[in-house]
């Protein structure tokens, strides 16, 4: 029996054949059956998207590692257990309304399943990020969740330090670290096709 084809959403860095850097990350949809020759490249992966009608073979560089690409594929297929358990958290609960009280994220793929409907509960991004490290937040809860950067001197996009980015109900946002450390900078890309 043929494998199930799904659309998986990865955090694109470069899309070829021309390898021009994107000014910011974007969410890239790819058919799981078209991923070929998956290989690690720096902090992310390069793969050839086979079956692309425009180019025949379309090179894509993403921030995800090969194991994260496969994790994303499995989650898209509804597979929630197995070898990639350590890189996902499907039961994140938002907490607090400030950076100190927000729930600390530790995984690549994070599904928020519980928040307090009357307040903007918070989560905060990975504690010690490296450049290119990616953190996906999917809000499956009943109210919006506020995403804080990892520290009081970190920021998301061009916002002030420690300012939040709200993730609406049903929304997914990909966060990529562009400056590492205690004063990290995160770039965000909204997954327009998540819901």
pLDDT digits (tens, 9 = 90+) for 84-126: 556 888 899 999 889 999 999 999 999 999 888 667 799 999 9
**Contacts made by residues 109-112, CB under 8 angstroms, sequence distance 24+:** 109/68, 109/71, 109/72, 109/75, 109/136, 109/138, 110/135, 110/136, 110/137, 110/138, 111/138, 111/140, 112/137, 112/138, 112/139, 112/140, 112/141, 112/145, 112/167
Helix (H) or strand (E) holding 137: strand 134-139
Place of tokens 């450390």: 181
Closest residue by Cα to residue 58 from 71, 66, 49: 49
Query: Percent of the chain scored above 90 by pLDDT?
Result: 38
Residue 185 scores a pLDDT above 60: yes
Instruction: With a cut of 50, say whether residue 195 has pLDDT above it.
Output: no
pLDDT, one tens digit per residue, over 157-184 is 999 999 999 999 999 999 999 999 889 9
End-to-end CA distance of the chain: 29
Q: What is the pTM of this model?
A: 0.83
- Going across the sheet that includes 145-148, the strands are 103-104, 122-124, 145-148, 165-167
Peptide bond into 41 cis (omega under 30): no
Query: What is the reported pLDDT for 57?
Result: 60
Least confident of 48-52, 63-67, 103-107, 108-112: 48-52
pLDDT > 60? residue 54: no
Domains of the chain, CATH where assigned = 7-76 (no CATH), 85-191 (2.60.120.640)
Instruction: Say if residues 152 and 175 touch (Cβ distance below 8 Å).
Output: no
């Amino acid at each position: 029996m043929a494998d199930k084809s799904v659309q998986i959403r990865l955090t694109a860095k470069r899309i070829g054949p021309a390898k021009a850097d994107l000014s910011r990350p974007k969410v890239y949809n790819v058919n799981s059956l078209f991923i070929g020759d998956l290989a690690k490249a720096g902090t992310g992966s390069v793969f050839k998207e086979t079956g692309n009608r425009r180019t025949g073979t379309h090179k894509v560089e993403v921030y995800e590692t090969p194991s994260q690409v496969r994790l994303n594929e499995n989650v898209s297929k509804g597979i929630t257990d197995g070898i990639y358990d350590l890189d996902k958290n499907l039961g994140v609960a938002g907490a607090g309304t400030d950076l100190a009280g927000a729930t600390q994220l530790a995984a690549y793929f994070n599904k928020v399943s519980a928040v307090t409907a009357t307040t903007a509960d918070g989560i905060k991004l990975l504690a010690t990020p490296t450049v290119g490290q990616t953190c996906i937040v999917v809000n499956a809860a009943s109210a919006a969740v506020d995403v804080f950067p990892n520290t009081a001197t970190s920021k998301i996009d061009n916002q002030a330090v420690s300012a939040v980015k709200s993730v609406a109900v049903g929304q997914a946002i990909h966060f990529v670290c562009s400056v590492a450390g205690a004063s990290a900078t995160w770039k965000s890309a909204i997954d327009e096709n998540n819901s």
